[in-house]
Amino acid sequence: MGEAQMPRSADWDAWQRSWDRQQEWYMPDREERFQVMLDMVEATVGPAPRVLDLACGTGTISDRLLARMPDATSTGVDLDPALLTIGRGHFAGDDRVTLVTADLTDPEWPAKLPHDTYDAVLTATALHWLRLGPLAALYGQLAQLVRDDGVFLNADRMIDGSTPRINAAESAHRHARMDRAKAAGAVDWSEWWALAGRDPALSGPVAERFAIYGEHADGETPSAHWHVETLRAAGFGEARTVWSSPSDCLVLALK
């Protein structure tokens, strides 16, 4: 999406699609991980789950969940006012979706949710914004929110520090691909936010968003093994990787 392709003001569906395209510049296999995520939701808790879409952004996971499982319901929670504005516009009139503003580092954030427990908690490309201490604390809270036999799935950048040469080769190859896509007109993170800030319907929420986060949060990207062991310690009965790319993993934890 270049300058000439900027969505018209308040075209929320177009803004959500443009967010997806921007994210796909970083993760061309993004849809594949969503497919596996929803496969495992259906396999573990069935086709009509009550879902918590954690750090939901514009509601990408909820959008794909409801397209595949029309009888599901979703609670999306995020702190980003701009992405939530897009999500609220996109899901307007759909009573299967509830969007909640909450800070996941606030110990009281679960009190803002409409339900005490969920069949599934799903998140993607979001929890790397947290440092390890707050993330481990969050996993402890999620162990209380996921019902017995329920499931948690996290798709994110997970770095194995024991393979530095492999990591360097993968990173160089991925960034070369991104450079080629950028030369062909792909919009990156900074450019997308600049476009959003020029939309009169989003300029206020975008300014508020940068006042909250700055340019980018200072998080961490531990290994999949760290996630698995931390989830087990938090109270999940089983946990392992169910999908991976050269740079990212999808970790599933079963209560």
Q: Give the pLDDT score at 162.
A: 95
Contacts of 236 by beta carbon, 8 Å cutoff, 6+ apart: 143, 146, 152, 253, 254, 255
Kindly state the DSSP code that residue 6 receives in the 8-state scheme: P
Residue carrying the six token digits 């918590």: 52
Would you place residue 218 in the very low, low, confident or very high pLDDT band (cuts 50, 70, 90)? confident
Q: Is the pLDDT reported for residue 215 higher than 80?
A: no
pTM: 0.93
- Determine phi and psi for 64, rounding to 5 degrees: -75, -35
CATH class for the domain made up of 3-254: alpha beta
Please spell the DSSP secondary structure of 117-131, one letter per residue: -EEEEEEES-GGGS-
From start to end of 127-247, where are the E strands?
146-157, 238-244
State the chain's mean pLDDT as an integer: 94
Tokens for 218?
């200072």
Among 68, 54, 113, 64, residue whose Cα is nearest residue 90: 64
Nearest CA-CA partner of 241 in 128, 137, 158, 126: 158
Helix axis angle, 12-26 relative to 30-45, nearest 10°?
Answer: 100
Q: How far apart are CA 130 and CA 138, in angstroms?
A: 10
pLDDT of amino acid 3: 34
Residue carrying structure tokens 């897009």: 86
> What is the C-alpha R_g of the chain?
18
pLDDT higher than 50, residue 4? no
Domain limits, the chain:
3-254
pLDDT in tens, 78-94: 999 999 999 999 999 99
- ∠ CA 156-19-23, nearest 5°, is 35
- Tokens 């427990």 — which residue? 117
Is the pLDDT at 10 greater than 80? The verdict is no
pLDDT digits (tens, 9 = 90+) for 115-172: 999 999 999 999 999 999 999 999 999 999 999 999 999 999 999 999 999 999 999 9
